[in-house]
Amino acid sequence: MAGHLGCYNIADLRDRAKRRLPLGIWEYAERGVEDETGMARNRAAFDRITFRPRVLRRVDRIDTSVSIFGQPTPMPLALAPTGAAGLLWHNGDLALARAAAAAGLPFTISSASTLDVDVIASAGGRLWFQLYLWEDRSLSMAVVDHAAELGCEALFVTLDMAVPPNREYIHRNGFGTPFTLNARNTIDVLTHPRWLAGVMGRYMLSGGIPTQANLPDRLRTKVTKGAPPGALFKQDDLDWDGIRELRDRWKGRLILKGILHPADAEQALAAGADGVVVSNHGGRALDSSVATIDALPDIVRAVGGKMTIFLDSGIRRGSDIVKARALGADAVLAGRAPLYGLAAAGEAGVARALELLRAETARTMAMLGTRNFAEVADALAD
Ligand SMILES: Cc1cc2nc3c(=O)[nH]c(=O)nc-3n(C[C@H](O)[C@H](O)[C@H](O)COP(=O)(O)O)c2cc1C
């Protein structure tokens, strides 16, 4: 079990992460887009949902386990793909993957990760791979084939970024690609010596922070350099034919991430997908999009029981996980919650975040008088 690190909930880990990170890195990991109403709406929608608990139900044995893709999983939680985890902690992707493997939870490798996928995969455990399509589609296909060779169980294709999102603070902070130093971010970095030495310093010793680490060697660059031609993500010309092409190529589970409309979920099913992630990218894509927990019931009505339904965006408490399950999601993904742990204390911090979510989930179930997830469907107040 992870040490408590003086952190007793995800918000404590968030506070510690914020203190450790330079502002530019913190804002990249934490913020949404435009006026950030989407992030607030995700949280408000969870908070509006209430339970009607039962008593005297012998809750001395709580079973939080579920089945995901037919495999037993200790709880309905997986780690969402988060590119640039390596900026929060040295080789952050590996720390996330190791903590996930130790907790028995699946980890999703991001196609925007800064660490070689082979190194991430050395963590073992249950690995999923997230895909953004590069402008040169043959690169994407090569990456997909490599993910299969590594034994990744599922391919998550992220669809809610058809065009780059409007993250104004990234430009203000000089945090675009290429990453450029300016007066503001130089002082910012210099006033966070622990990050400078522990993260940036360690990369500098090995020749700089890599980017596009998933690409073939010849196309890899450093975050301080622009991307070579064809090696930029580009999905504005993607349509259902593109998904069918991926379906033909990828033999494992295929999941479409960033689905909010039931008609799209039905089309995903028709295209041969095995699941969807009801997601608005944690409020980082379209600011005015519906809260995911509000979008979930229609999608469950459309495709529930016919494909695996994941939900993400705003998971901060075990009670959020129970609410998502009660409304018909099979499992949730958490993005920022483990990232806060990562930035706070590396692998031990991620382990702490996962342990907090597990303990809160079990406690919520006991308080509700539900001993397993089959029973939680009846726990909502209305
Ligand atoms: C710093 C950061 C990087 C992310 N990078 C990716 C990515 O590379 N690919 C992707 O599909 N989603 C990415 N996401 C979105 C997450 O997979 C997930 O949908 C989102 O974080 C869920 O919301 P939450 O952070 O409130 O849990 C990223 C999110 C964050 C916070």
Ligand 1 contact via 214 beta carbon (within 6 Å): no
- From the CA of 4, how far away is ligand 1's center (Å)? 25
> One-letter amino acid identity for 104?
G
Token digits of residue 126: 């249950």
Tell me: pLDDT of 9 over 60.
yes
Most ligand 1 atoms within 8 A of CB, residue of 161, 276, 284 to mutate: 284
Q: What pLDDT, on a 0 to 100 scale, did the predictor assign at position 170? A: 85
Q: What's the average model confidence in pLDDT over 344-354?
A: 98
Token couple for 320:
């959020």
User: Residue 206's pLDDT band (boundaries 50, 70, 90)?
Assistant: confident
Residue in the structure block whose two tokens are 């949404």:
32
* Average pLDDT, integer, range 76-98: 96
Angle between helix 37-48 and helix 318-326 axes, rounded to 10 deg: 70
Q: Is 132 annotated as ligand-binding? A: yes
Banded pLDDT at 323 (limits 50, 70, 90): very high
Say how many residues make up the chain: 382
Q: Which residue has the higher pLDDT, 3 or 81?
A: 81
Q: Label residue 379 by pLDDT band (50, 70, 90).
A: very high
Residue written as token pair 């041969």 = 272
The answer, yes or no, to whether any atom of ligand 1 lies below 6 A from the CB of 41, is no
Among 39, 82, 292, which residue has the most ligand 1 atoms within 8 Å of its CB, making it the best to mutate?
82
The answer to the question of whether 279 is labelled as a binding residue is yes
281 is in an annotated binding site: yes
Pick the more confident residue, 129 or 207: 129
The DSSP result for 250-319, as a single string, is --SEEEEEEE--HHHHHHHHHTT-SEEEE--GGGTS-TTPPPHHHHHHHHHHHHBTTBEEEE-S---SHH
Our measurement of the distance from residue 328's CA atom to the centroid of its chain's CA atoms, rounded to an integer in Å, reads 20
Residue 1 is assigned to a structural domain of this protein: no
- Rounded CA-CA distance 284/167 in Å is 8
Report if residue 110 sits inside a domain.
yes
Examine the pLDDT at 224 and tell me if it is beyond 90.
no
Task: Return the active site residues.
Answer: 281
With cut-offs at 50, 70 and 90, classify the pLDDT of residue 231. Answer: confident
Work out the mean pLDDT of the chain and round it to a whole number: 94
Distance (Å) of CA 284 to CA 30, 31, 71, 174, 347: 9, 7, 31, 18, 25
**Tell me, what's the pLDDT at 177?**
64
* Residue 287 within any structural domain of the chain: yes
Looking at the chain, the whole-number percentage of residues with pLDDT higher than 70 is: 95
Which domain covers residue 329, as residue numbers? 10-169+229-378
User: Looking at the domain assignment, is residue 206 inside a domain?
Assistant: no
pLDDT category at 184 given cuts 50, 70, 90 is confident
* Residue 220, pLDDT score: 66
Residue 353 lies in a domain: yes
The tens digit of pLDDT for each residue in 232-291 reads 899 999 999 999 999 999 999 999 999 999 999 999 999 999 999 999 999 999 999 999
* Amino acid (1-letter code) at residue 179: F
Helices (H) and strands (E) in the chain, counts: 15, 12
Looking at ligand 1, which residue's alpha carbon is closest to its atom 15?
281
For the residues 123-129, what does the mean pLDDT come to?
A: 98
What's the confidence (pLDDT) of residue 309?
A: 99
Q: What is the mean pLDDT of residues 132-136?
A: 93
pLDDT greater than 90 at residue 6: yes
CATH number of the domain to which 60 belongs? 3.20.20.70
Residue 186 lies in a domain: no
- Among protein residues, the one with the nearest Cα to ligand 1's atom 2 is 82
CA of 95 to the centre of ligand 1 (A): 16
Domain count for the chain, please give it: 1
pLDDT of residue 358: 98
**Look-up: residue for tokens 């073992």?**
124
* Average of per-residue pLDDT across 364-380: 97
Q: How many CB atoms lie within 10 A of CB 60?
A: 6
The answer to whether position 204 is within a domain reads: no
Which range has the worst mean pLDDT, 53-57, 119-123, 144-148, 171-175?
171-175
| For residues 361-371, average pLDDT | 98
pLDDT surpassing 60 at residue 1:
no
Residue 206: partners with Cβ closer than 8 Å, 6 or more residues away = none
| Distance, CA of 154 to CA of 143 (rounded, Å) | 13
Distance 215 CA to ligand 1 centre (A): 20
Nearest residue by C-alpha to atom 14 in ligand 1: 82
Supply the residue whose CA is at minimum distance from atom 10 of ligand 1.
81
> Does the annotation place 124 within a ligand binding site?
no
**pLDDT tier at 213, thresholds 50, 70, 90:** confident
